[in-house]
A and B are shown apart, each in its own frame.
Chain A
């Protein structure tokens, strides 16, 4: 039976409840490491022996099924949330701890959901750059596209431009975006091989399966970003009609909107999580 290791799950209490419930149901040992414990009382290690990578956690005893603290390829690791280490007196050691954690994420042989580390574009590249580089995902068949981006002073070309949220706050970059004739804001939740689409501006709307072209693009986009669980904000173009064209506005590997949907007790959201976790624990869904 695979072991389920969660890091930072307490930040998403409703999602955490479902994960715990599914682990109990499957009789899978579960290790739950809080954000505070991760890197302090529970620390990672990485080993290369005869060309094989091994990795594990110290100070994170599983709730059952103890044994070697190495994580194997049958185990499932989901680091939902982590913080930078609190700074110590030694900047050298701070960097070393971060490097070890990045190394653990990259090398851990467990099936890692939304694998982090320095080789993972989702965790290393500004989202707007990722959208620009990854879209369109299926060449001319794609229905998903990126917004039009502009870096520099706001263009004075008669179109309306908006500053890209967040970017200016941490990199100070002047990133502007626009999209012609935007329709209603939607959220797509990709979990493994299933996608649900939620109208965000109609809060009582339920989740539906997206049209096939859009679903194929969203699955491909998640794969291109190295994500198993991905939240995608997107809008249809009102002048292209139906599902002919959608623009992706934002990606997130943090399941924040999913948590909101679970808190509102949307049965489709719960069913999607349950299906994903059951498949993982049965070894049918392959995380990266």
Chain B
């Protein structure tokens, strides 16, 4: 990232291809203690992603940075959406599992046995009592 951009405190549209090329930075080293971790985080921010640190709240985006900022909005919105998806995936997975259990039970006589869940707990309890 060019030094003058950082001093201006802006991500310009010219910077975006470089950012895209750069891809993700590595996670900071965890270090041997909290201080070392924080130093590694700081180094990471000051390094490739220093631009994040320098477009601070005191500096307004100029027209030059507008387009880049718009692209950031776009990305930020995508991120807003993405975070909910993972928890939803887990929920859908739970639904699928529920259906599998149900499918296994189907075909049995309804009165034949406890449900899958009750069976699992009954068996766990006998272990706990042993």
Contact = CB atoms under 8 A, between A and B. Distances in A.
Interface of A: 11, 13-14, 81, 83-84, 98, 123-124, 126, 160, 162, 165-166, 169-171, 178-179, 182, 185, 187, 200-201, 233, 235, 249-250, 252, 254, 256-257, 259-260, 262-264
Contact of A171 (B90, B99, B106, B124): B90
A201 B106 CA distance: 22
Contact of B120 (A160, A165, A264): A165
Which A-B residue pairs are the 10 nearest by beta carbons? A263-B110, A165-B120, A162-B124, A170-B93, A263-B111, A256-B115, A264-B111, A170-B97, A249-B121, A182-B125
Contacts of B97: 166, 169-170
B122 A170 contact: no
Contact of A83 (B95, B109, B110): B95
Given A254-B98, A256-B115, A263 B109 contact: yes
A1 B120 CA distance: 43
Given A81-B102, A252-B115, 8 more contacts: A13-B110, A123-B91, A165-B121, A166-B94, A169-B97, A187-B118, A259-B110, A263-B111
Nearest to A234: B121
Interface string B96-128: 111100100110011100110110111011011
A123 B105 CA distance: 21
Contacts of A252: 115, 117
B92 interface: yes
Contact of B94 (A14, A126, A250, A262): A126
B105 A235 contact: no
A185 B90 contact: no
Nearest to B96: A84
Secondary structure at chain A's binding surface: helix, strand, loop or mixed?
A: mixed
B129 interface: yes
A159 to B, nearest CB: 9
Contact of A165 (B96, B98, B111, B124): B124
B92 A84 contact: yes
14 contacts: A84-B99, A124-B91, A126-B94, A160-B128, A162-B124, A165-B121, A170-B97, A200-B118, A200-B122, A254-B98, A256-B102, A260-B115, A263-B110, A263-B111
A201 B96 CA distance: 29
Nearest to A165: B120
A233 B92 contact: no
Interface string B80-95: 0000000000111111
Nearest to B130: A160
Contacts of B90: 170-171
